[in-house]
Structure 1
């Protein structure tokens, strides 16, 4: 059942994103059922109960039996009361009349009232939501089970709109899937220096970085419809989920079927530092985080010959100022020599950004793979294992690492002036770019030399591995 007149009630922001996009016709069947659901009818106790908890009202009847509660409700649909359990004194039960029977639910309170996952400010709201849910699930059980089988998401432009917004930029994707081989007819040979580099670097293409939606439980004010299946999102509170990065609104069951096509909205991204890497690059439509690009450009412009680059610390107070500038101004942040004469401040800000990523550049999922690769004794097999790991990185992580290693390789070409070789840089960037998933101090200490070796090998073999 559908009604086009209800489309204005949806609160959907997606339908207005394209001029020629026709708004979907929202399915109003579940909305109509919610309107038909029984209304709560509080059954009050005629006398004051001394044992009544302060967070309940006159609906509390003290310690009464199930049978007596059933009598008090008098068969009125939606009638409810609260009683103290005879079987478990000190616990409280909500007695609710629905479907010509009395239902009993164990009640809890922790500052809010709840029976299941949802928490309510008042018993009246809890009962209202419960009656809506019971009524809709009773009347439309079969309809709900089929609700996700014919989604509007793929038929009315949602997917294509999101894809179009994500591919309006040229991004470098993964290298080709073939392996870089360092052996020929069983004989170990030195890795070729130019062949793979030319092949890999020529592989540029439009690449839309896939990103899963960041769904969180949400309470919608006013009627809302699911932007996946077009059905009403029923209930009084916590009716569904909203992606905190792009604003997509869906039922909980529909969220499992939405593709990994989240296109973050800059209006929803509150900061640059500590923001998920893929989320940031998609929000800003860049192949890499602008922090990485801007800091590296500034360092290469005036800092490559600076002694102890990346090893010497800048003043932490000034580094925090740079962080705040990026969070506040994004790619308009001023990190020029006029603002920060000491290049170590910019280098420190870059390291802080990489350190603050919620998922490191070398992701938690691949951490052990890179550590195990570093432990391989044979140099050629070790490089192959590292290369295989690189191919598994998410595209935004791969591109950020590639760009950073190209820069660090350039830093080592000025070793005579800055005294920073690949090993020194590996010591600095190892714990910054890769962290153990369990974050235990012992694991970190045990792995430090392998973290250093991984980054050292990535820098030394940058021309072959990327």
Structure 2
């Protein structure tokens, strides 16, 4: 019998900016509108005229005179009936409309990717329960894996070996034991061990189908292996979500400040981390918590080259400038991944 302790989903800490999405500051997105007998939601006076009497927020439906709209505070509370899609929509708008700390598409994809790696590993030799991994002959059910709001911070492939207790005469994690022949030889682990994870693209038609499903009804999307067998499809959909954000996960303003720190040659990594804390803390709450969630999921430094252009970008449209910045972006992403607990909290 071998037991490996796993941190439960509920152990994910939400330190940092406000965790109540209602408190997130978000301006209204007003658009000129034609009304038929309507009153201003700000001043409560009638909106006179035949056409273009006022403006209406595209995210929450707030209606006001043009002059009144200039006085409205940034208290927009988006409603999903006005938010027509998830992909290509502002991150703060999505989390406020869904009333969740991070976008549902991110949480569902990350959980599914990690679940596949753990369950497929467990199917050969080990049985997963809410807090432990135990040797068992029976094939585990996916429901046995701990669930909850957060990420599985302890990952099989990236945690130090000392996190795993002795297996027989070997002090090795369960996956290594399976490779040594303790499995049945038929159900080898794939999941997080699959070659090209986050590097290989999923089948285009499946990626588009899953994207449209998230846009239509994010809460009820089925991303399980019974619906999408290739884990690369789920990975591609997750990366596509970040690529289509109108404001990148690491905002352009914060990106500039972080790049200045990374480009300073005479700074040690500890000094870089110290200087990076302030700009990282200035990220909008929705961006901060989503980045924290993703960093706890990724963990591997070699993924910096894959995710750097996905999670951050410059507002400079010059392609040569973007090309020159690529190596610094990769270095920045690596520093964030390695030191994410210092920068974003545990």
Q: What are the residue-to-residue correspondences of 1:244-323 with 2, within 5 Å?
A: 244-302=58-116, 303-323=191-211
CA distance in 1 between counterparts of 2:215 and 2:21 reads 28
TM-score, length basis structure 1: 0.53
CA distance in 1 between counterparts of 2:319 and 2:77 reads 36
- Secondary structure of residue in 1 paired with 2:23: coil
Q: In the alignment, is residue 450 of structure 1 matched against residue 328 of structure 2?
A: yes
Q: In the alignment, is residue 326 of structure 1 matched against residue 219 of structure 2?
A: no
**Which structure carries more relative contact order (alpha carbon 8 Å, separation 6+)?**
2
CA 1:328 to 1:444, structure 2 compared with 1: closer, same or farther past 3 Å?
same
Q: What are the residue-to-residue correspondences of 1:10-409 with 2, within 5 Å?
A: 175=16, 208-220=23-35, 222-302=36-116, 303-377=191-265, 378=267, 379-409=269-299
CA distance in 1 between counterparts of 2:206 and 2:322 reads 28
CA 1:407 to 1:173, structure 2 compared with 1: closer, same or farther past 3 Å?
closer
- 5+ residue gaps, structure 2, are 1-11, 117-190
In the alignment, is the contact (CA less than 8 A) between 1:245 and 1:269 conserved in 2? yes
**TM-superposition CA deviations, 1:220-253 (whole Å, max 9, x none):** 1x22211111122222111111001111011111
For the pair shown, the structure with the greater C-alpha radius of gyration is 1
CA distance in 2 between counterparts of 1:395 and 1:286 reads 12
CA 1:256 to 1:205, structure 2 compared with 1: closer, same or farther past 3 Å?
closer
In the alignment, is the contact (CA less than 8 A) between 1:216 and 1:241 conserved in 2? yes
In the alignment, is the contact (CA less than 8 A) between 1:173 and 1:395 conserved in 2? no
- Secondary structure of residue in 2 paired with 1:267: coil
- 5+ residue gaps, structure 1, are 1-170, 177-202, 413-421
1:173: how far off? 6.6
CA distance in 2 between counterparts of 1:249 and 1:448 reads 44
CA distance in 2 between counterparts of 1:308 and 1:460 reads 21
TM-score, length basis structure 2: 0.71
1:452: how far off? 0.9
CA distance in 2 between counterparts of 1:331 and 1:374 reads 38
In the alignment, is the contact (CA less than 8 A) between 1:314 and 1:345 conserved in 2? yes
CA distance in 1 between counterparts of 2:213 and 2:19 reads 32
**TM-superposition CA deviations, 1:79-132 (whole Å, max 9, x none):** xxxxxxxxxxxxxxxxxxxxxxxxxxxxxxxxxxxxxxxxxxxxxxxxxxxxxx
- Secondary structure of residue in 1 paired with 2:212: helix
CA distance in 1 between counterparts of 2:245 and 2:15 reads 21
Q: Considering only aligned residues, what root-mean-square deviation do their CA atoms show, in Å?
A: 1.9
1:364: how far off? 2.0
CA distance in 1 between counterparts of 2:274 and 2:286 reads 21
CA distance in 2 between counterparts of 1:242 and 1:351 reads 32
Match of 1:133 in 2: none
1:464: how far off? 1.2
- Secondary structure of residue in 2 paired with 1:257: coil
Match of 2:317 in 1: 439
CA distance in 1 between counterparts of 2:255 and 2:232 reads 28
Match of 1:4 in 2: none
